[in-house]
């Protein structure tokens, strides 16, 4: 069908949306043949498909896909319909999109975020499971180096951390700041996640400032985490780039309990070496 020169793009777009809202697929298809593009852009530069995914309007998403919309189309930020639905936690829409053959679950936006990274950041455990089942890469890193595991650890999402580790996530991966999932979990006081990560994480890994998990825990005053780290033989004598040990930092912070823990631990270690 030839294009109608009397019908401008804005009119066509409105007519197309109306057809979708009324569930009139045939009218929508006719408009497509007249020149409508289901990827036309609104004021926010999002495609029609992305708009409805963002709103969780699954039926409209289905209609658009039936009309030929590109399920992997990305906006100017690199976000796809799947990502938009994820950010707004539109679970029904996410589940539907993941059921469509050809969907790319590992596409990344301009910051390097994938659907898995977004789901892990927001704590969407069910969706993380679904994405992993659909081939999401557990070790993909954002441009600043953080992985889904690191972001889940930051927020204390223990079950997601478990899932990612079971899928082979690199427990010792560090971002541009030299921080691993363990260092972030310690920094944020996520005790349960720390305990989980200590089954395999490098307890003496240092960040860009030379701080270990023990130094960070001592600085933050996390007594229980200090105990957990000492059980894993954390290096009490390690100095950061400022030349400070965990004990010296605890003294500076006037945390008597942690100072006592560290001194007692070092005393026992010295005695063991002499035997």
Burial class (CB in 10 A: 0-12, 13-18, 19+), 191: middle
113: left (phi over 0), alpha (psi -120 to 50) or beta: beta
Q: Which of 46, 44, 48 is nearest to 13 (CA)?
A: 48
201-237 residue pLDDT tens: 999 999 999 999 999 999 999 999 999 999 999 999 9
E strand residue ranges, the chain: none
Encode pLDDT of 223-272 as tens digits. Answer: 999 999 999 999 999 999 999 999 999 999 999 999 999 999 998 888 88
210: left (phi over 0), alpha (psi -120 to 50) or beta: left
* Residue 146 burial (C-beta neighbours within 10 Å; 0-12, 13-18, 19+): buried
Count of beta carbons in the 10 Å neighbourhood of residue 164: 28
Q: Which residue has the tokens 């691993």?
A: 180
What tens digit of pLDDT does each residue of 58-76 get? 988 888 888 788 899 999 9
Is residue 241 a contact partner of residue 210, using CB atoms and an 8 Å limit?
Answer: yes
| Contact in structure between 59 and 93 (CB atoms under 8 Å) | no
Looking at the DSSP bridge assignments, the partners of residue 74 are 80
Q: Which residues pair with 147 in a beta bridge?
A: 141
Instruction: Give residues with Cβ within 8 angstroms of 249, minimum separation 6.
Output: 215, 218, 219
With a cut of 50, say whether residue 45 has pLDDT above it: no
Q: Please tell me the predicted confidence (pLDDT) of residue 60.
A: 83
- pLDDT score of 98: 96
More confident residue, 43 or 252: 252
Torsion angles phi and psi, residue 99, rounded to 5:
-85, -5
Would you place residue 274 in the very low, low, confident or very high pLDDT band (cuts 50, 70, 90)?
A: confident
To the nearest whole number, what is the mean pLDDT of the chain?
A: 89
State pTM to two decimals: 0.86
pLDDT at position 46:
47
In the chain, what are the domains?
A: 1-100 (1.25.40.20)
**DSSP code, position 81:** H
What are the structure tokens assigned to 116, written together?
């898995």
Record the tokens describing residue 243, joined without a space: 């030349």
CB neighbours of residue 70 within 10 Å: 15
Query: Tokens representing 10?
Result: 């804005």
């Amino acid at each position: 069908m030839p294009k109608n020169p009397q019908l401008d793009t804005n009119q066509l777009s409105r007519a197309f949306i109306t057809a979708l809202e009324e569930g009139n697929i045939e009218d929508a298809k006719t408009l497509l043949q007249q020149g409508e593009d289901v990827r036309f852009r609104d004021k926010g530069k999002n495609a029609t498909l992305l708009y409805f995914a963002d709103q969780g309007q699954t039926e409209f998403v289905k209609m658009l896909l039936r009309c030929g919309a590109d399920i992997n189309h990305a906006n100017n930020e690199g976000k796809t319909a799947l990502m938009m639905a994820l950010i707004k936690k539109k679970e029904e829409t996410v589940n539907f999109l993941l059921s469509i053959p050809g969907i790319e679950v590992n596409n990344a936006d301009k910051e390097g975020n994938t659907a898995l990274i977004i789901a892990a950041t927001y704590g969407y455990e069910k969706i993380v499971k679904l994405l992993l089942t659909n081939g999401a890469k557990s070790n993909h890193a954002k441009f600043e180096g953080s992985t889904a595991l690191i972001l889940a650890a930051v927020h204390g999402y223990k079950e997601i951390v478990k899932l990612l580790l079971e899928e082979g996530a690199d427990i010792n991966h560090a971002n541009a700041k030299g921080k691993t999932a363990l260092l972030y979990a310690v920094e944020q006081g996520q005790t349960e996640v720390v305990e989980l990560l200590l089954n395999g994480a490098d307890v003496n890994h240092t960040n860009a400032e030379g701080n270990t998990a023990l130094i960070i825990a001592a600085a933050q005053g996390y007594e229980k985490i200090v105990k957990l780290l000492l059980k894993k033989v954390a290096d009490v004598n390690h100095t950061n780039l400022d030349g400070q040990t965990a004990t010296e930092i605890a003294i500076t912070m006037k945390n008597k309990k942690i100072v006592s823990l560290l001194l007692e631990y070092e005393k026992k270690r010295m005695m063991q070496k002499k035997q």
